[in-house]
């Protein structure tokens, strides 16, 4: 292992496990140490406030977080973000990759761009927007905020697909179903790896991370061969919740390869538990 590995926190989470699996399939050109509160097959035990597992690090990748619960419960994401910054400072890392969410855009999430003011509509989105605001006041180590779309395999639709309960999708007045932005695990893992290794001045302050092709949720169901039922969309249901990827496309970062429902489903199965 190099003297300056990358530290990956939250290695036992839904996204963390899958990113590590993607890196085993397609090894990055850096060493890394993965950690979680409890030791696992591919990670060491470590918690915020404990001495770092290595004395020097190249970067910190924060894959930990709380997605569900009340605002008070999801506000632990602010503490985790600060802990990642502290870990980077303690080990000499020059950057921290933080996962935020497209939920910060709330109901104003129709091809939402990074310069759009956050208008979160649920506790998770609110907590992540507060986390972003906190990080904006930090200059070093550099926080890199990724507003990530639905991560196939770790999102709500994937949980529905994996369960036994009948899947029900909203159908709107024009006959269409909900359209969402997605990102595959392998693509997310490649982008994170590139952000770890690129020159610091090429790291964005904030960037949307999604496939350039938004997809109907029923297309994902069909790709998975999963039966589903339609219901009339209730009042207030969003036909579309999508984010713009112009900034990602204009960057030198790897571009998403999984841009169809079939490719996203294959990606999910390849990196499944």
Residue 196 belongs to a domain with what CATH number? 3.40.50.720
What is the sign, positive or negative, of the torsion defined by CA atoms of 271, 257, 172, 224? negative
At 155 the pLDDT is: 79
Q: Which residues pair with 120 in a beta bridge?
A: none
Does the pLDDT value for residue 196 go beyond 90?
yes
Give Cα separations from 181 to 133, 157, 187 (angstroms).
Answer: 24, 12, 14
- pLDDT (average), residues 249-258: 97
| pLDDT greater than 80 at residue 266 | yes
Whether 116 maps to a domain, the answer reads yes
Mean pLDDT of the chain: 95
Q: Is residue 41 part of a domain?
A: yes
pLDDT given for residue 65 in this prediction: 93
Rounded to whole angstroms, the Cα distance separating 208 from 146 reads 6
Q: How many domains does the chain have?
A: 1
- Is the pLDDT at 1 greater than 90? The verdict is no
In terms of Cβ atoms closer than 10 Å to its own Cβ (0-12, 13-18, 19+), residue 82 is middle
pLDDT at 160 over 80: no
165 falls within a domain: no
Task: Note whether 152 and 183 are within 8 A (CB).
Answer: yes
Residue 156 lies in a domain: no
Residue 273 lies in a domain: no
With CA atoms as reference, report the closest residue to 157 among 108, 213, 64, 221.
Answer: 221
Q: For residue 36, give every residue at least 6 positions away whose Cβ sits within 8 Å of its Cβ, in sequence order, or none.
A: 9, 10, 11, 12, 13, 16, 43, 44, 45, 46, 64
Do you find a cis peptide bond into 141, omega within 30 degrees of 0? yes
- Which residues, listed in sequence order, are joined to residue 60 by a DSSP beta bridge? 7, 96
Average pLDDT over residues 265-270: 93
Q: In whole angstroms, give the CA distance from residue 130 to residue 187.
A: 27
Q: How far apart are the C-alpha atoms of 41 and 272, rounded to whole Å?
A: 15
For residue 89, what are its two tokens?
């400072």
Is 120 within the bounds of a domain?
yes
pLDDT at 159 over 80: no
pLDDT tens across 90-104, in order?
999 999 999 999 999
The answer to whether position 266 is within a domain reads no
Question: Other C-beta atoms within 10 Å of 48: how many?
Answer: 14
Range of the domain at 55: 6-151+184-210+244-257
Mean per-residue pLDDT for 232-259? 97
For residue 228, is it within any domain?
no
Give the whole-number percent of the chain exceeding pLDDT 90. Answer: 89
- How many residues are given for the chain? 273
- 228 — pLDDT class (breaks 50, 70, 90): very high
Predicted confidence (pLDDT) at residue 203 exceeds the cutoff of 70: yes
């Amino acid at each position: 292992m190099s003297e300056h590995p990358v530290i990956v926190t939250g290695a036992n989470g839904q996204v963390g496990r899958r990113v590590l699996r993607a890196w085993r399939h397609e090894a990055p050109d850096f060493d890394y140490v993965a950690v979680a509160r409890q030791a696992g097959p591919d990670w060491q035990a470590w918690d915020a406030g404990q001495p770092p597992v290595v004395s020097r690090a190249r970067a910190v990748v924060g894959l930990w977080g709380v997605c569900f619960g009340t605002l008070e419960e999801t506000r632990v994401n602010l503490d985790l973000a600060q802990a990642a910054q502290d870990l980077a400072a303690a080990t000499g890392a020059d950057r921290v990759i933080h996962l935020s969410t497209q939920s910060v855009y709330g109901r104003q999430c129709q091809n939402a761009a990074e310069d759009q003011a956050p208008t979160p509509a649920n506790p998770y989105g609110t907590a992540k927007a507060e986390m972003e605001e906190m990080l904006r006041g930090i200059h070093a180590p550099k926080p890199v905020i990724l507003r990530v779309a639905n991560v196939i395999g770790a999102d709500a639709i994937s949980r529905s697909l994996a369960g036994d309960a009948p899947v029900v999708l909203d159908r709107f007045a024009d006959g269409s179903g909900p359209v969402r932005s997605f990102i595959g695990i392998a693509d997310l893992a490649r982008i994170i790896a590139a952000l770890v290794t690129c020159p610091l001045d090429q790291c964005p302050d904030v960037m949307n991370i999604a496939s350039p092709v938004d997809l109907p949720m029923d297309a994902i169901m069909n790709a998975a061969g999963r039966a589903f039922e339609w219901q009339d969309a209730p009042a207030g249901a969003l036909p579309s919740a999508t984010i713009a990827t112009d900034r990602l496309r204009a960057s030198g970062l790897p571009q998403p390869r999984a841009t169809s429902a079939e490719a996203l489903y294959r990606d999910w199965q390849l990196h499944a538990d």
